[in-house]
Amino acid sequence: MTTILGIITGATLLFYAIISRGGAEIFWSPPSLMIVGGGTFAALLISFPFPRIVRVSGVLMQIFKKDVKTPSWVIKLMVSLSFKARQKSLLSLEEDIKVIDSRLVKLGLEMVIDGHPAGLVREVLETELDFVEVRHRAGEHIFRSGGRFAPAFGLIGTLIGLVAMLRSIGGSGDTSATVGEGMAIALITTFYGAMLANLFFIPVAEKLRSRSDDEMLSNRIIIEGVLMIQAGINPRIIERKLNSFLPPHLRAQYYDVVLKESRMKARAAKIK
C-alpha cells in the first residue's frame, strides 16, 4: 500500500503543480518523451540481456501484490519444530516438510533429517542464500541503471535543444519561435529525465533493496534455527537466540504459546 500511496501522491502533486503553472499542454513534448523514454530503454537493452529485462516486469508486479512477512514468523516456526523434534525425533519433521512454503527451511530440514554434519548444512544453506541475494540484486540493478540513464538522456535532450536554438540565432529572419521551441525541448527533456528517475526508477530500486534485505534477514534466522534444531538446543534458548536478530519491537514470544499448544495436543492424544 505504501508503494501505491507514494506513486499516487507524487503524481498528484506534480500534476497540480503543472496545472497551476500554465496547464498540462505546455509540459507535453513528444520529442522530449522520445529522447528520454526511447533513449533510456535503448540503453537498458544494450546493458542487459533481453530476457532479464522481461523478467523485471514480474519483479515490478510483486512489489504491488504483497509485502514480505516480518521475520517473527520464522521464530514461531523454529520453536514449534524444535518442540516436535525434542518430543519425538528429527525424523518426525518429515511431515512438516510437506506443508512448509519456505524453500530454505525445506532444504535445511531435509539435510538435517538425512544426517549431514552441521558444517555442511550451514555451507549449503549459505550458498543457497548468497545466490538468492544475487538474483534479487539483478532486478534492483536494472532499475538503478534506469535511474542513471534517464537524467543522462534528459541532459542529451537539453543539448539538442540548445544546439537548435543556437543555430536559429545564427540564421536570418525571425528566430523567436525557433529559439522558444529549442528552449522548450531543452528544459522539458531535463524535466522528463529527472521525473522518471526520481519518481519511478530510483524509488522502485530502493523498494526492491528493502524487500530483499528483509527476506535475507528471515533467511539468516532460518539457517541459525535449523542448525540449533539439529543440535537439540532447548526451544526457549532457540527463541532467545533468534530474537537477538531483531529489534525489540519485532521480537516474538512464542515459547509459552507453543508449549501450551503442545500440551493440549498431548492431552488430546491421551484421550483418544
6 within domain boundaries:
no
Residue (of 229, 215, 249) closest to 77 by Cα position: 229
The answer to whether 157 and 37 have CB atoms below 8 angstroms apart is no
Residue 76 pLDDT exceeds 60: yes
pLDDT on residue 19: 77
For residue 220, count other CB atoms closer than 10 A to its CB: 18
pLDDT tens for 5-20 read 877 888 788 878 777 7
Residue 21 domain-assigned?
A: no
Name the pLDDT band for 45 (thresholds 50, 70, 90): very high
Q: Per the structure block, which three cell numbers stand in for 35? A: 529522447
The rounded mean pLDDT for the chain is 82
| Tens digit of each residue's pLDDT (9 = 90 or more) over 55-69 | 887 777 777 766 667
Q: What are the tens digits of pLDDT across the range 154-205?
A: 998 888 878 777 777 765 555 666 666 667 767 888 889 998 998 889 988 9
Q: Is residue 186 part of a domain?
A: yes
**pLDDT value, residue 90:** 84
149-153 average pLDDT score = 93
Q: How far apart are CA 183 and CA 72, in angstroms?
A: 55
What residues make up the domain containing 205? 30-271
Give the model's pLDDT for residue 271: 60
Q: Does 9 fall in a domain?
A: no
Please give the tally of structural domains in the chain: 1
Of all residues in the chain, the percent with pLDDT exceeding 90 is 18
The reported pTM is: 0.77
Residue 7 lies in a domain: no
The CB density around residue 12, as the number of other CB atoms within 10 Å, is 10
In a domain, 10, yes or no: no
Residue 146, in any domain of the structure? yes
What mean pLDDT do residues 121-139 have?
A: 87
Residue 258 lies in a domain: yes
